[in-house]
Structure formats: structure tokens, C-alpha cells
């Protein structure tokens, strides 16, 4: 009897997983299918079969002088890639400082960072915009990258991961052997944090890639726009020039880098989340 219960649970679990996988992949499939159909075909309604306008939609997007899609892809790659690299390193470094050093204001610093975590971005957006304008950084990609240095959410994840996976005895042993603090962090701590850093790099890359609010406030010139702004611009075009095929093709182009990054780093996700949640 117990064996039958286990088998039944396994079957139910597989059915649920297959159903959820279908729901997740179905929308990607429809997106790709719609990217192959023309505006007139899309007006006719839903179809599960691909159309014949894939190349046409792609060329319409690439050759549209009003929307420099290739420049938008490059801008989004620069912002998302730099943000992911900066946030993983400096948030890990901050978490290491709070975790490895027992100074008087340790708990106060941790609490202060957690208080920043609950503050919505919209609350500080106006002050942030005035600050970068006074600094002469408006209409540039720098304000979209530099704030990644301070990420309370990534800091908290890395701090929790260190508590479960980084023995303080290892740090003390490195200090006794004469290793400097930055040397200890870069050569000993970072390799241990690699799974967690990969997880946060994926989340940060995707979040920065899909971010529309802050870039829309900061960027004014077309040559510096990111993909979400360009997609919104195309979606808000005049009705006579409105082309659903181009929109679906642009969205398809926009998700390709995210899929590639996920495929390269996905092997670290389970390891990072599991090890970060189990305290030895």
C-alpha cells in the first residue's frame, strides 16, 4: 500500500508539472507564431499555425528608421550586463562585510539596509531624477547602471547564503595565513558564492532588461533608448501605421537574450537556492 501511495503522488506530481510547463511554454509558442504572421492575419484572430511573414516582420523592424532596434538591443545589453556584474560583486562584498566583521553598528547597518528594501522605487524617482540632472547625467546610460551598486534585495540573499554556506572559520584561517581582506574575498569567498551570484545575476539581468519606469524618466534621445521604451513607442504609434506583426517580432527579439542568459546560468539556480536555504 505505501508503495502505491508513493507511485500515485509521483504520477500526480508529474501531471501537475507537465501542465504548468505547458502553461509557461504555450505563451512563448503563441508569441513566436504571431511573430510569423502579418498584421492582416493577426486581425483575423488566433491561429496555432505559423504564418509566412517572419522575414518580412523581421526586416520591417530592422529597417524602421524611427526605431533603431539594434541600438536598443545594444543599450539594453550594456545596461543589463553591467548592472548584473556590479550588483553581484558589490552586494556580495557588502554582505561579506556585515557577515565577517563583528563591529558595534553591525546590527544597525543590517537593519538600515533592510529598511531601504521596503522603500518603493516610485517614492524616490523624483529625487533621483533631480539628482542626476544636477550632476549632468540625464539622458545617459550611467544612471541606469550605477544604482545597481546598492541593492538591498541582493545583499539580503547573499548574506543569508553566507550564513548557510560560508564558515567563519575559513575566513579566520585565511587571515592567519596572511591573506588580505580583499584577497580573501576574491580568491576564497567568491568561488563559494558562485551559485548564489549566478542566481542573482539572472534575476538582475532580467529585471534590468525589462525595466521601463526609470529609463523612461532618464532617457530622451532615441539613440540611447532601451528595448522596453522602443516597444512602448511602437505600441503607441498612429493607428494607420500600427503593425501588430512588428510588435510581436520586436518582443520576440527582446526575449532572446534573456533566454540565452538563462540557459547559460540555469544550472546554478537549483544549487544556489537550495544551498542558500539549508543551514548546516
List the grid coordinates of 78: 550594456
Would you say 145 and 79 are in contact if contact means Cβ atoms under 8 Å apart? yes
Exposed/middle/buried for 189, CB within 10 Å: 0-12, 13-18, 19+?
Answer: buried
**141: nearest Cα among 55, 257, 229:** 229
**107 against 279, higher pLDDT:** 107
What tens digit of pLDDT does each residue of 21-31 get? 888 888 888 88
For residue 135, pLDDT over 50 is answered with: yes
H and E: helices and strands count for the chain:
15, 0
pLDDT, tens digit (0-9, with 9 covering 90-100), for 148-173: 888 888 999 899 888 888 888 888 88
CB contact at 8 A, 276 and 157: yes
CA distances from 254 to 6, 77, 134, 229 (A): 43, 10, 32, 11
Q: How confident is the model at residue 217 (pLDDT cuts 50, 70, 90)?
A: confident
pLDDT band at 82 (very low <50, low <70, confident <90, very high): very high
Whether the predicted pLDDT of 126 surpasses 70? yes
- Candidates 262, 261, 234; CA nearest to 247 is 234
Domains in the chain with CATH codes: 65-277 (1.10.3720.10)
pTM greater than 0.95 (yes/no): no
> Stretch 90-104: mean pLDDT, rounded?
88
pLDDT of residue 77: 92
Amino acid at each position: 500500500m505505501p508503495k502505491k501511495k508513493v507511485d500515485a503522488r509521483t504520477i500526480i506530481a508529474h501531471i501537475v508539472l507537465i501542465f504548468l510547463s505547458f502553461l509557461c511554454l504555450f505563451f512563448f509558442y503563441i508569441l513566436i507564431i504571431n511573430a510569423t504572421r502579418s498584421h492582416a492575419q493577426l486581425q483575423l484572430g488566433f491561429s496555432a499555425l505559423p504564418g509566412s511573414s517572419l522575414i518580412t516582420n523581421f526586416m520591417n523592424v530592422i529597417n524602421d528608421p524611427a526605431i533603431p532596434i539594434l541600438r536598443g538591443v545594444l543599450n539594453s545589453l550594456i545596461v543589463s550586463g553591467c548592472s548584473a556584474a556590479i550588483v553581484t560583486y558589490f552586494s556580495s562584498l557588502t554582505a561579506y562585510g556585515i557577515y565577517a566583521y563583528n563591529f558595534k553598528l553591525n546590527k544597525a547597518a543590517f537593519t538600515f539596509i533592510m529598511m531601504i528594501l521596503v522603500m518603493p522605487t516610485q517614492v524616490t524617482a523624483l529625487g533621483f531624477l533631480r539628482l542626476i540632472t544636477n550632476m549632468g547625467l540625464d539622458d545617459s546610460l550611467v544612471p541606469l547602471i550605477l544604482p545597481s551598486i546598492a541593492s538591498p534585495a541582493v545583499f539580503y540573499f547573499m548574506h543569508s547564503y553566507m550564513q548557510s554556506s560560508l564558515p567563519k572559520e575559513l575566513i579566520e584561517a585565511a587571515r592567519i595565513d596572511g591573506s588580505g581582506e580583499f584577497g580573501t574575498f576574491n580568491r576564497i569567498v567568491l568561488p563559494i558564492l558562485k551559485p548564489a551570484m549566478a542566481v542573482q545575476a539572472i534575476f538582475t539581468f532580467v529585471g534590468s532588461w525589462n525595466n521601463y519606469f526609470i529609463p523612461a524618466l532618464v532617457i530622451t534621445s532615441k539613440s540611447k533608448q532601451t528595448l522596453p521604451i522602443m516597444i512602448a513607442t511602437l505600441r503607441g504609434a498612429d493607428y494607420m501605421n500600427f503593425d501588430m506583426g512588428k510588435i510581436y517580432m520586436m518582443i520576440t527579439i527582446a526575449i532572446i537574450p534573456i533566454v540565452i542568459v538563462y540557459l547559460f546560468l540555469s544550472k546554478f539556480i537549483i544549487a544556489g537556492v537550495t544551498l542558500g536555504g539549508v543551514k548546516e
